[in-house]
């Protein structure tokens, strides 16, 4: 099994004719992703890659196709409008790759998304990969293999590193979800961990966090009360100085909060095994989580 997406997921690409949208659409198609159509205002009637129609809007797409998911590559100033348009059309899963979306825009988006029941992954995220079935976003498909480890991450680069390390040790993933590291996003650790907990094929969970915010501490509380599968975590930014942003907009320690040490302590209390380095994760999983909780 997998969570959120599989080989049957019908996808549209918003921003498909732009440089990034077209490049990554080709990569997704090569992996086997079922891209049904694309959306670029003013480009309706075009066809790309031989048989993928381009529409002016999501509203026009859904007149002709049943769509499960939209992936968004539009510039930051148009991203909020694109997300809301997809949600208005009843698309249940929306993946926004775009970085630099203003926090004020995302606050409005989050309020609307919550009101209509669509699920948003991102923004500023690498997307979703179900190895061997589909990739929706920018996670390289060749670095992962199918398996029984569920992966959820705030960091794109570390996502790639961990997936590749798992593959090197003959371990694979059910699904990998990059939730993004912006201060306001659509899906958090708890949302994804709950799905992994309910997925019969997912036997172990890897969680990749980073400094800033309280998402990891909140996930720790949830894991303590609701998760009986082994969880191993890595928290990036352990040496980051207070007040200095490291990578993502949300990765900053301010006012004494958001420190890596606090997150690690909370996770240990909840029975989560902590990796000191990403490359330790595969051996911890292979050794049935004989890692250090101290």
The separation between the first and the last C-alpha atoms of the chain, rounded to the nearest angstrom, is 33
Please give the angle made by the CA atoms of 118, 17 and 51, to the nearest 5 degrees.
90
Q: Is 277 a catalytic residue?
A: no
Query: From CA 183, how far away is CA 213, in angstroms rounded?
Result: 7
Which of 34, 32, 37, 27 has its CA nearest to residue 61? 37
Spatial distance between the Cα atoms of 189 and 181, rounded to a whole number of angstroms: 11
Set 65, 142, 248, 277: catalytic member: 248
| Euclidean distance between CA atoms 77 and 108, whole angstroms | 14
Task: Specify the long-range contacts of residues 252-261, CB closer than 8 Å, at least 24 apart.
Answer: 252/211, 252/212, 253/211, 253/212, 254/212, 257/214, 258/211, 258/212, 258/213, 258/214, 259/211, 260/210, 260/211, 260/235, 260/236
List residues with catalytic annotation: 248
């Amino acid at each position: 099994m997998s969570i959120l997406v599989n080989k049957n997921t019908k996808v549209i690409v918003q921003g498909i004719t732009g440089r990034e949208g077209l490049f990554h659409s080709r990569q997704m198609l090569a992996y086997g992703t079922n891209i049904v159509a694309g959306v670029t205002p003013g480009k309706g009637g075009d066809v790309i890659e031989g048989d993928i129609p381009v529409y002016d809007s999501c509203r026009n797409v859904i007149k002709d196709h049943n769509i499960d998911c939209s992936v968004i590559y539009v510039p930051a100033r148009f991203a909020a409008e694109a997300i809301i348009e997809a949600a208005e059309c009843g698309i249940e899963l929306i993946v926004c790759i775009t970085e630099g979306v203003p926090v004020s825009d995302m606050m409005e988006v989050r309020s609307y998304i919550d009101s209509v029941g669509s699920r948003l992954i991102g923004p500023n995220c690498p997307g979703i990969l179900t190895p061997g079935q589909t990739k929706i976003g920018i996670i390289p498909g060749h670095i992962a293999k199918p398996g029984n480890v569920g992966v959820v991450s705030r960091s794109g680069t570390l996502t790639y590193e961990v997936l590749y390390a798992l593959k090197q040790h003959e371990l694979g993933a059910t699904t990998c979800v990059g939730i993004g590291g912006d201060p306001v996003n659509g899906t958090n650790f708890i949302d994804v961990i709950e799905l992994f907990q309910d997925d019969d094929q997912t036997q172990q969970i890897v969680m990749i966090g980073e400094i800033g915010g309280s998402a990891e501490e909140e996930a720790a509380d949830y894991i303590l009360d609701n998760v009986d599968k082994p969880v191993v975590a890595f928290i990036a930014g352990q040496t980051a100085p207070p007040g200095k942003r490291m990578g993502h907009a949300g990765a900053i320690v301010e006012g004494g909060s958001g420190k890596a040490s606090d997150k690690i302590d909370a996770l240990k209390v909840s029975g989560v095994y902590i990796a000191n380095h990403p490359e330790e994760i595969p051996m911890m999983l292979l050794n049935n989580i004989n890692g250090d909780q101290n």
